[in-house]
């Protein structure tokens, strides 16, 4: 496993986190950002994971650019 494969894996994980919908998926399971911010649980593991999910959702435009670069590299390298 090379560095490029590892970076592709992180990119796939970031894509998976970025497409999660709060109303349809996160809130019914108790993973809403409002629940963590009101209860003061931002330092717990659950709070950290929810923060990571929201960070990935705010970085959608850079993710689009990184996906385009990855696709171009795959097309060029064969």
* Measured distance CA(17)–CA(74) in Å, rounded: 23
Sign of CA dihedral 30, 33, 39, 42: positive
Determine contact, residues 61/18, Cβ cutoff 8 Å. Answer: no
For the chain, what percent of residues have pLDDT higher than 90?
Answer: 37
Reported residue count of the chain is 78
- Joined tokens for residue 66: 């990184």
Entry pTM = 0.75
Which is higher by pLDDT, 40 or 22?
A: 22
Q: Give 55's pLDDT tier (boundaries 50, 70, 90).
A: confident
CA distances, 75 to each of 9, 14, 68, 69 (Å): 18, 21, 11, 10
Q: Give 54's pLDDT tier (boundaries 50, 70, 90).
A: confident
Q: What is the pLDDT of residue 35?
A: 73
């Amino acid at each position: 496993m090379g560095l490029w494969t590892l970076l592709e894996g992180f990119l796939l994980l970031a894509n998976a986190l970025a497409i999660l919908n709060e109303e349809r998926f996160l809130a019914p399971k108790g993973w809403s950002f409002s629940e963590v911010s009101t209860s003061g649980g931002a330092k717990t593991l659950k709070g950290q994971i929810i923060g990571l999910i929201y960070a990935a959702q705010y970085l959608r435009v850079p993710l689009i650019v990184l996906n385009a670069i990855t696709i171009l590299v795959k097309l060029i390298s064969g």
